[in-house]
Amino acid sequence: MSEDDVVVEAEVQVDAGLELSRKVFLLRQEDLPGVDKSQVKKEVIEILTKQERTPLYLKYCEEFGWMADEALVEKMKASNAEELKQIEEKIIDAEENLGDSEVREALLSKAEFLARIGNKEEAISAFKVTEDKTVAIGQKMDLMFTQLRHSFMYSDYTAVKRDLAKAKLMFELGGDWERKNRLKVYEGLFCMAARDFKKAAELFLNSIATFSTYELFDYPQFVVYTVVTSMVALDRVELKAKVVDAPEILQVIHQIPHLTQFLNSLYQCQYLEFFQAFCHVSDSVRADLYLHRHFRYFMRQVRVIAYTQFLESYKSVKLDSMAASFGVSPAFLDTELSSFISGGRLNCKIDKVSGIIETNRPDAKNALYQQVIKQGDLLLNRVQKLSKVIDL
């Protein structure tokens, strides 16, 4: 993807509903660093009133305890009613005097109007009616993308999963490559929100050279999601080949605060710089609509990866030395490692008397042997239970 491609494609604006949902998410969170909630509130109210999203305006006024402007509400309700009336008249006119294509366009206008103002259930029903009137695969896919964004807006991942399955079935009947590539990003976003970072990273990396889903997020944000999921999901060799040296990522990663340091310092084993950047990136993950639920998981996974990578170079190392490398206190590191060791995440042990960490890398053949024995015992137990049932 060239810089010209980024400029041209970036003219496509992020879906207004998704932008609104991100801002509302920030208002719902407490103690997010660097977030000016008074400014975010102002922006949310501006979006709601400018786009006349009356149901959502009333909903958020109730949720956040805002004083609703009654005169403004009546004005927006009247405007919504008038716009809906005009759309209904267009639908009737199209059904009586025009063709199926015009009927479909009128029905789509109604569905998009209901989705815009925040009438969720009626919008879903209207999209279903429009889908029944849609024949062309391309139009069906575009409608499915619209419904997916509508579901993402409400974090309705059950609906997202269902619609993604329907979209994949549609592509078995046909469909162009541009829409197929867009679908990969939608699916990747769902996988990331569902904590399937490995699948999300795979889909994002497959789409990075052909990214065009600017209705979801801009390209720098896409790079953030790609780097974050890849650092959790990929091994060191894959990370180097697919992310660290990827020209599409190198093109914009310097525009994203702390991300270059976060990625490169881990790969280059500069753990002090890595932990410094890690704090900032973790704040971004915590403040992200799709990643915030996995904030603690992300924190644990990345620390385990860093500790594992460090310990792979040693048979034994002093606790003080490792703590200095990461820029933390020995007491903090002792607590950290003890937690991960007891959970089976790190293959090492701590000699507290001498203050030494000793690695005990598992023998692959022995581990496989133990696994076979364990599975064999389970199988024998099941056979014994089955034999008792048969005897009865």
Closest CA to 311 of 296, 301, 321, 298: 321
Q: 5 and 214 in contact (C-beta within 8 Å)?
A: no
Q: What interhelical angle do 137-153 and 177-193 show, nearest 10?
A: 20
Q: 185 and 216 in contact (C-beta within 8 Å)?
A: yes
pLDDT number for residue 6: 44
d(CA 348, CA 315): 9
Secondary element (H or E) of residue 171: helix 157-172
pLDDT number for residue 4: 46
Closest CA to 110 of 96, 123, 99: 123
DSSP character for 52?
T
Quick one: tokens of 320? 């003080």
pLDDT number for residue 366: 64
**Location of structure tokens 């197929």:** 180
Q: 78 and 52 in contact (C-beta within 8 Å)?
A: no
Rg of the chain in Å (alpha carbons) = 26
**Apex 297 CA angle, 291 and 302, nearest 5:** 100
* Cα separation of the two ends of the chain: 69
User: Which residues, in sequence order, are CB contacts of 291 under 8 Å at separation 6+?
Assistant: 192, 193, 225, 228, 285, 298
b/e code 287-296 from CB counts within 10 Å (16+ = b): bbbbbbebee
Q: 285 and 295 in contact (C-beta within 8 Å)?
A: yes
Count of CB atoms situated within 10 Å of the CB of 278: 22
pLDDT number for residue 362: 64
- C-alpha dihedral sign at 237, 239, 244, 246: positive
As beta bridge partners, residue 42 has none
The Cβ-side half-sphere exposure at 21, using a 13 Å CA radius, reads 21
What parts of the chain have a pLDDT lower than 70? 1-12, 175, 361-367, 391-392
pLDDT number for residue 8: 41
Instruction: Say whether 356 sits in a helix, a strand or coil.
Output: strand
Pairing of strands 316-318, 356-359: antiparallel
DSSP character for 362?
P
Count of CB atoms situated within 10 Å of the CB of 37: 14
d(CA 3, CA 19): 24
Closest CA to 280 of 25, 33, 37: 33
pLDDT number for residue 378: 82
**Location of structure tokens 């053949």:** 365
What are the E-state strand segments in the chain? 316-318, 348-351, 356-359
Closest CA to 21 of 331, 374, 292: 292
